[in-house]
Amino acid sequence: MTFEAFSAKIVKVAHMNLPGEAAHVEMAPIERIIALKRQAERQKTARKAAVMVLFYPGDNSETHMILILRRTYKGVHSNQVGFPGGKVEPEDKNLQDTALRETEEEVGVPVASIEVVTALTNIYIPPSDYVVQPFLGFTRKRPKFVAQEKEVAALIEVPLREFLAPESLTEQKITTSYASNIQVPAFVLGGHVVWGATAMMLNEVRALLCQLD
């Protein structure tokens, strides 16, 4: 889909009902669902973070989405694929400000160039004890991406057609914080396996986009 056509349609998402947890569950193994239910009380006092699901015109004006590969470090999200984003800082007015600020810091897209369409369904991340609020946005010009050296190992530019293709869905055996060597639903995007909370959030985006005319 050309970005011109996409940008005309994506604004409709702001007036749509969110698929919410139903979309999340489709990309979550039963072990994670059980773990989330057990930890429901922890969510009430969890720390806050926000991320941006950002679309933009890529090569030949084709619609793309940006993901990042996080660097290897001593942490629960080491070497994982995710969205630009991070924890709330004191200077942030709200969670949308957090997502915008972090996107500029991590991938170099100026805050002023991003049009936020809507907030999506938040999700609790048990290993890090964060509730993450995703936002859906786009920029009308191809960004001059600049990866934050400390945080980002690689930028992953994903064509919309690849994201929506049935073959992007798969299953992989992975060891997680809540179980070892289990089969998990995942996406394969840009040659990377995307699972866990990022896959759950992506599935809600996918469900919304598939409803657009």
Range 3-211 has CATH code 3.30.230.10: no
Q: Cβ(67)–Cβ(107) under 8 Å?
A: no
Other beta carbons within 10 angstroms of residue 159's beta carbon come to 18
Q: What is the pTM of this model?
A: 0.91
Question: What token pair was written down for 187?
Answer: 């996406």
Structure tokens at 156: 């992953």
CA nearest neighbour of 82 among 178, 159, 153: 153
Question: What's the pLDDT at 38?
Answer: 65
User: What string of pLDDT tens digits covers the 213 residues of the chain?
Assistant: 899 999 999 999 999 999 999 999 999 877 667 666 666 667 778 899 999 999 999 988 999 999 999 987 654 445 789 999 999 999 999 999 999 999 999 999 999 999 999 999 999 988 788 999 999 999 999 999 999 999 999 999 999 999 999 999 999 887 665 566 778 899 999 999 999 999 999 999 999 999 996
Supply the pLDDT for residue 22. Answer: 93
Q: DSSP E strands: which ranges in the chain?
A: 47-57, 63-70, 81-82, 85-87, 115-119, 123-125, 130-138, 152-159, 169-174, 182-189, 192-194
The two tokens of residue 117 are 């369409």
> 156 near 69, Cβ under 8 Å?
yes
Q: Give bridge partners of residue 71 from the DSSP assignment.
A: none
| CA angle at 198 for the pair 61 and 74, rounded to the nearest 5° | 120
What distance separates the 2 farthest-apart alpha carbons in the chain?
48
Beta strand pairing call for 182-189 and 192-194: antiparallel
Cα–Cα distance for residue pair 205/51, rounded to 1 Å: 13
CA-CA distance, 122 to 201, in Å (whole number)?
8
d(CA 120, CA 101): 18
Domain ranges, ordered by start, for the chain = 3-211
Number of Cα atoms under 13 Å in the Cβ half of residue 189: 30
